[in-house]
Structure 1
């Protein structure tokens, strides 16, 4: 694994202990999590390295055939402005989960589809797909979903949905943390790629900053752009805390040491060695991370979303990150990958 000897695995230790809080009772993980607990919360770099080399086997991931490289993007926890009450300034709803949305677990009938879910709604005696982003907007207050907060900027709200969690600064200066609760069941479609296909931006310009600039310059096409992505994320309000946002593993994410993965190929909670590069450069970014989150756009074996942390600087790095990388999942000795 390139860069293994240069990385400091002790920096991933808090993330490992967070994973073990969920994995410690699962078959195959008891002994490795017990050994991690025995080393305490702050082992030395040498102790951490010896621990991983003694207890884990690295399995390189491939995207079918001989392809060992895949896409590595970045995400972060944004801060947007919002309010508890609607006004001309705060006019964009941040919805909770709709009361009429059904979740159908396909794995209950087809075990091979255990990771697949459908969202729908009942119309007469039929189950139809749930509303798309554009349809939800058209229905307005007819959507039976609670409004948690009102945002002051539709673009900031859109990117908060893309990130899956964030913080909302209220007019009185207080901050509310919200996190992913559910999604309308429609596949994520990149508005950056839509803008490229429309001839509005080049591929190099289609970063988060580039998309925001285009939206400010083309307010008349804002809804058209946003509705090019039919996916819509619903949120829940989270307790105030000092840690990172809660990922799919139900533990706080660690800045620079957590990634989102496709759980069909990488078990949630597992250590992963990621070999990629920093945004817009060839400078190596080779480090041990923990698979603690998922995402609707994260599909495939060699596919990761790197968590940069909270705030503007993290957002800049995340928005520019679209690198190639390789991945090794570290599994306890005797355990084999899902596929």
Structure 2
């Protein structure tokens, strides 16, 4: 073969070998990369994509000036508050000033509720005003408060009952006549978050009986206590004639016990045994024993006196049991409420402490059977929240305090009535004033934009299909959805083709 031909054959063979090597190397590289991806996908979690940040609102989210769970409100003008001008505002002002004493004396952080801090402003004003004129007292409330109609969500009115301080006959020692013990708080009664010697433990929430140093079990209920579970421990403050007297003293939360020697002991609520209050009157209504329209405390007493065995069973339906403490008050002073100050007959009310703040004024208007059981006496009075009770639950629920003795008991015992509630809100929390400072939201989108984002899911309150227009399109007020991130697609490894060895013949 000629030298030129040999060189051509050599170059051609070398080029063919280089191409085959390049193909083999590229196939190996692709296979290795596919293997690495397969390993990562099966042995290592892919990093999670960060969540899309929430869209910013076109206007700021400002906190509401007043929020009471489960309540609805309606701002009013003073001229729209029925009976406002007919009340004795000076008497209400004196009761409000009494509530201001503990409010002005607060040194720590105010209550978390909105009213907890705002009541300090009108209380500071009242501290320097010794008013003796009814007109000036009326002006004080109008200048420092705004009226706000309040009720439970979906209901037009509130609900009131009455309470009083019973005056009972008793003995310092147990006798055949006086054999119903009035107990002070036992030392083994425990409430989480409170020391065992704290004054006036809460009347809601769990209560435990402490066994040893660590074990806690639910405390005894009324039946167990009446059967003597805590008897003989020196807890008896006094002894009464009738267990019904004790039951109603516990319902009222305070009592005066007069002894044969002329002495008197004043009792106030101190703790309860952890069981929810059950109204015995409601049980009698449900059993058809006393009609609802005739229900009163006097009717309950009469039935219990006539059926002692039934009275015992009825009492035990209310598993709640109240323990008392002695207070140093004279017979001329009223009972002390949960705010820690003496109540004012006809002006103090008990409210739901989980929703309201002591010292809040409430104007209550309607008709009540004050003069007699069938009377409809107009009642429009400014009351001050100074007490609480386990049965007082809701934003427009109040227990009206009527004082001490049988007359007060007769009036309060027949109150179970719907009434209008107007809460006096300090001007700093006036929702109308605060609402005027809120920015106006952006205008509604145009019809063209609304058609681009039609409603895809039927609304809950959507009318029947036959009532809707076929061409009706409802725009969805919501953020524009972000595109779905691209999926990670793993490459599929193709099977490698075998490389055939070709023989190069010399020519």
TM-score clears 0.5: yes
Give the structure 1 partner of residue 342 of structure 2.
252
Q: Does the CA contact (< 8 Å) of 1:115 and 1:264 recur in 2?
A: no
Superposition deviation, residue 275 in structure 1: 1.4
Decide whether aligned partners of structure 1 residues 145 and 119 sit closer, same or farther in structure 2, where only a CA change above 3 A counts: farther
Between 1:285-294 and 1:51-60, the stretch displaced more is 51-60
CA distance in 2, matches of 1:64, 1:44: 38
Larger RCO (CA under 8 A, 6+ residues apart):
1
Alignment of 1:5-20 (within 5 A): 5-20=85-100
Query: How much is the aligned-residue C-alpha RMSD, in angstroms?
Result: 2.1
Superposition deviation, residue 15 in structure 1: 1.0
Decide whether aligned partners of structure 1 residues 46 and 69 sit closer, same or farther in structure 2, where only a CA change above 3 A counts: same
- Deviation digits for residues 184-212 of structure 1, max 9, x if unmatched? 11111111111222332222333111111
Aligned to 1:39, which of 129, 136, 147? 129
Give the structure 2 partner of residue 310 of structure 1.
404
**Per the alignment, in what secondary structure is the counterpart of residue 281 of structure 2?**
helix
Superposition deviation, residue 115 in structure 1: 9.4
Q: Does the CA contact (< 8 Å) of 1:256 and 1:307 recur in 2?
A: yes
CA distance in 2, matches of 1:201, 1:213: 11
CA distance in 1, matches of 2:272, 2:367: 31
CA distance in 2, matches of 1:171, 1:5: 47
Structure 1, gaps ≥5 residues long: 107-113
Alignment of 1:165-180 (within 5 A): 165-180=254-269
Aligned to 1:243, which of 333, 338, 348? 333
Give the structure 1 partner of residue 359 of structure 2.
269
Alignment of 1:1-339 (within 5 A): 1-24=81-104, 25=106, 27-40=117-130, 42-65=131-154, 67-105=155-193, 117-122=205-210, 126-142=215-231, 146-241=235-330, 242-279=332-369, 280-335=374-429
Q: TM-score, normalised by structure 1?
A: 0.91
Superposition deviation, residue 132 in structure 1: 1.0
**Per the alignment, in what secondary structure is the counterpart of residue 244 of structure 1?**
coil
Q: Does the CA contact (< 8 Å) of 2:203 and 2:389 recur in 1?
A: no
Q: TM-score, normalised by structure 2?
A: 0.61
CA distance in 2, matches of 1:171, 1:299: 39
Superposition deviation, residue 313 in structure 1: 0.9
Between 1:195-204 and 1:302-311, the stretch displaced more is 195-204
Superposition deviation, residue 31 in structure 1: 3.2
- Deviation digits for residues 66-91 of structure 1, max 9, x if unmatched? x1312200001110111111111110
Decide whether aligned partners of structure 1 residues 84 and 115 sit closer, same or farther in structure 2, where only a CA change above 3 A counts: closer
Superposition deviation, residue 122 in structure 1: 3.4
Q: Does the CA contact (< 8 Å) of 1:260 and 1:291 recur in 2?
A: yes
Structure 2, gaps ≥5 residues long: 1-80, 111-116, 195-201, 432-507
Decide whether aligned partners of structure 1 residues 335 and 144 sit closer, same or farther in structure 2, where only a CA change above 3 A counts: farther
Aligned residues: 328
**Per the alignment, in what secondary structure is the counterpart of residue 180 of structure 1?**
strand
**Per the alignment, in what secondary structure is the counterpart of residue 104 of structure 1?**
coil
Superposition deviation, residue 146 in structure 1: 1.2
